[in-house]
């Protein structure tokens, strides 16, 4: 089992030995290890929903192809 914990000494999520506790020398967890830990520790339904909500808030769902600016735009028609 992967043991991860927030280390307030270093400000990172680290892999640690529960027998020793947190130390400044603990190795920082990789993204792959964080995902593995999340799979092993799914938490309650409320926690899962909160994680999904957090991830979705950081994910760009679509990028607009163009941007329309209506305020302050003036159309000039050339008359000839």
**pLDDT digit string (tens) for 37-61?**
888 887 777 777 777 777 677 666 6
Q: What are phi and psi of 62, to 5 degrees?
A: -155, 150
Average pLDDT over residues 7-28: 88
Distance, CA of 35 to CA of 33 (rounded, Å)? 5
Distance, CA of 41 to CA of 4 (rounded, Å)? 11
Contacts of 38 (CB under 8 A, 6+ apart): 51
12 pLDDT band, cuts 50/70/90, is confident
Stated pTM of the model: 0.51
> What residue spans of 1-80 are helical by DSSP H?
31-40, 45-57
**Could you give the dihedral angle defined by the CA atoms of residues 25, 29, 33 and 38, in that order, rounded to the nearest 10 degrees?**
110
């Amino acid at each position: 089992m992967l043991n991860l914990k927030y280390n307030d000494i270093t400000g990172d999520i680290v892999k640690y030995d529960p027998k020793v506790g947190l130390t400044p020398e603990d190795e920082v967890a990789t993204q792959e290890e964080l995902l593995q830990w999340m799979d092993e520790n799914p938490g309650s339904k409320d926690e899962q929903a909160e994680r999904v909500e957090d991830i979705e808030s950081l994910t760009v769902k679509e990028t607009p192809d163009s941007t329309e600016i209506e305020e302050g735009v003036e159309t000039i028609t050339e008359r000839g």
